[in-house]
A and B are shown apart, each in its own frame.
Chain A
Amino acid sequence: MKKTSMVVFATIASLFLLSWIVKGMFSEGSSPYLDGFLVTLAAFLTLAIMSFLYKDNPYYKFAEHLFVGVSAAYAMCLGFWSTIVGNLIPRLSSTVSDFFQVNYIEGDYNIFFVIPIIFGILLLMRLSPKAGWLSRWPLAFIVGTTAGLNFVRYLRSDFINQINSTIIPLLIDWNGFGDFFSNMNFSATGQLVMMFSNLVIFVGVVCGIIYFYFSKEHTGWFGRASKVGIWILMITFGASFGYTVMGRISLLVGRITFLFKDWLEIIS
């Protein structure tokens, strides 16, 4: 380890200890030093992750690996206790249910419940180089079932229902020009804005489809419609980018609020 790295490590360790002691001394909970340690650890991990913006470093790597490991372990434990112990065992055996201290469900036993157990064991065979091929069976079952289920659901929700949602009236509550102009307003739910929105959806969908239609050369009116399609796509990507920025800034605000409020306590 280089001398500079050792100095950095010693400084960080000292600051961590100092923060822990100070937080522990001034915390008001039932276990102040434990609370102090947890808040300090959370602040340390936050800063370790943020330090990647300066450059890659061992503290970032440590925080990243810890996050992945803890997340995987947490999901596995919760999955085991909520699904295998919570759903499967109470329907399989009263003895095993007693062992795990869950209520056995009388008369709910079904031989088909054994199949997921076998498939689960077969999936774990992937860890063995010799018997790894056995894991293809449950995988094939998972892929086939998911594809079958999704095909029907996507066809209904993302295809038929979306076509249905695109077939919208271009004239809403139309009672003639006179009535239209005398009641004109710019409310988001007003007639003018709703008609304009529906027109944008109609034109956007048609031109977007034309842009992706390559069996005819994009010239003349077809080319112009295709160019409108590109603009519609670009505006959509721009909106997505804007929302992404908003999302990332929200996360940054969340972390900064934690650091200033819970750790440094400079804001209330």
Chain B
Amino acid sequence: MLSPLMAITVQDIGITVSLVFILLGLAWLAWRSFSGKEVDRRIIFLFIFFSVAMPVIFKISFKFKATPIVNALYEKIESLPNNSTVLISYDFDPAMAPEVQPMADALSRHCLSRDIKIVYMCLFPTGQGQLEQTFSTVVRNEFPEKQDGIDFVNLGYKAGGEGVLNVIVTDFEKMFPTDVNSVPYSEIPIFDNIKSCKNLDLIISIGGGRPGIKEWVLFVGDPGNIPMAAGVAAVVAPQLYPYYPNQILGLLGGVKGAAEYENRLRDSDPKFADMPTPATTMMGPQTLAHIVVMSFIIIGNILFFRNRKRGEIS
């Protein structure tokens, strides 16, 4: 039988060290602020840096339960029959990638494992590079038996934003005469029964900028009455909640949405037990950094009300 000390893991030590550091740091900041002394903004930056870096080093992570808005997308993919076709649009760049690339990978993994065909495209020029990452880490690595053109196809980037969407809602070939490897549209088996977006079973836009999910809803989802879902960077998620559930059936908001989806996927099937979960890993630093930011807000507000009561500010 293990003694209690033997049961302590590196992660436990990491959590303790991180929490002690954060608590001591916050106490020092609070003491300095309440004594009326200035706190240099660079100290705040450094404090945030350490609050994020320590959980990354000690790999602190938490488990998450999928919220209904995330679960809705999971259930939709689960309900699709084999050989359905889903379009995943990579509407993001490397700056957004830490948040949304985990969603893109998890969604691809989920679709391919259920024998759902995927049409990949992007409305951001740098989305092409991000797409290649999914191809190397998920598609070719975990599903080597899946064939290009039959189980998935990469249409690549097309400039034009809303213009592209306005065309593909009625005709794919007009905008994408070939795939990214210059294979003509008519020779790609996945498109045998697909003329436009209206023939797709689901469209998922992953991004956070413009053109993005809003344009997909405006130019494709609503006019074509096509089921739409999205995975977006946290900054734009609040603007998209009003579209749920009538105009988009599910939404992964920021890295938390991605972590929820990863956990839902991992818990659903033993074959996903060892899958990479980058978003879940990121939630450790997120949680501790949020504790720090919330503490800053509380300290700042207490000081504000105290100074107002003393008549130091109007």
Task: Using A161-B247, A250-B99 as known contacts, say yes or no to A256 and B56 having CB atoms under 8 A apart.
Answer: yes
The prevalent SS among residues of B at the interface is helix
Closest chain A residue to B256 by CB distance?
A246
- A105 to B178, alpha carbons, bound, how many Å? 11
- A245 to B255, alpha carbons, bound, how many Å? 11
* Residue A247 CB within 8 A of the other chain: yes
Contact partners of B59 in chain A: CB under 8 A: 267
Contact partners of B256 in chain A: CB under 8 A: 246
- A228 to B302, alpha carbons, bound, how many Å? 24
Contact partners of B285 in chain A: CB under 8 A: 249, 252-253, 256
Interface residues of B (CB under 8 A from A): 42, 45, 48-49, 52-53, 56-57, 59, 67-68, 95, 97-99, 125-126, 128, 156-160, 162, 166, 175, 177-178, 182, 184, 208, 217-219, 221-223, 233-235, 237-239, 242, 246-247, 253-256, 282, 285-286, 289-290, 293
Separation in Å of the B48 CB from the closest CB of chain A?
8
Contact partners of B159 in chain A: CB under 8 A: 75, 78-79, 82-83
Q: Are A253 and B162 in contact (CB under 8 A)?
A: no
Task: Using A154-B218, A239-B238, A243-B238 as known contacts, say yes or no to A249 and B162 having CB atoms under 8 A apart.
Answer: no
- Which of A156, A157, A188, A253 has the largest number of chain B CB atoms within 10 A? A253
Which single member of B157, B158, B177, B222 contacts A90 (CB below 8 Å)? B177
Task: Using A157-B218, A267-B56 as known contacts, say yes or no to A250 and B162 having CB atoms under 8 A apart.
Answer: no
Which single member of A156, A252, A266 contacts B57 (CB below 8 Å)? A266
Contact partners of B166 in chain A: CB under 8 A: 149
Q: Are A74 and B125 in contact (CB under 8 A)?
A: yes
Closest chain A residue to B242 by CB distance?
A162
* Residue A94 CB within 8 A of the other chain: no
Which single member of B126, B217, B237, B289 contacts A243 (CB below 8 Å)? B237
Separation in Å of the A207 CB from the closest CB of chain B?
16
Q: Are A256 and B52 in contact (CB under 8 A)?
A: yes
- A20 to B242, alpha carbons, bound, how many Å? 49
* Residue A53 CB within 8 A of the other chain: yes
- Interface magnitude class on chain A: 35 or more
Closest chain A residue to B184 by CB distance?
A103
- A70 to B235, alpha carbons, bound, how many Å? 25
Contact partners of A157 in chain B: CB under 8 A: 217-218, 221-222, 247
The prevalent SS among residues of A at the interface is helix
Task: Using A79-B125, A87-B177 as known contacts, say yes or no to A260 and B95 having CB atoms under 8 A apart.
Answer: no
Further pairs besides A164-B246, A188-B68: 6, Cβ < 8 Å: A78-B157, A156-B218, A239-B238, A249-B286, A253-B52, A254-B99
Q: Are A105 and B286 in contact (CB under 8 A)?
A: no
Q: Are B234 and A246 in contact (CB under 8 A)?
A: yes
Q: Are B235 and A244 in contact (CB under 8 A)?
A: yes
* Residue A189 CB within 8 A of the other chain: yes
Q: Are B98 and A53 in contact (CB under 8 A)?
A: no
9 A-B pairs with the lowest CB-CB distances in the bound complex, closest first: A254-B98, A247-B234, A79-B159, A153-B218, A243-B234, A78-B125, A246-B234, A75-B125, A247-B235
Which single member of B45, B223, B238 contacts A153 (CB below 8 Å)? B223
Q: Are A246 and B52 in contact (CB under 8 A)?
A: no
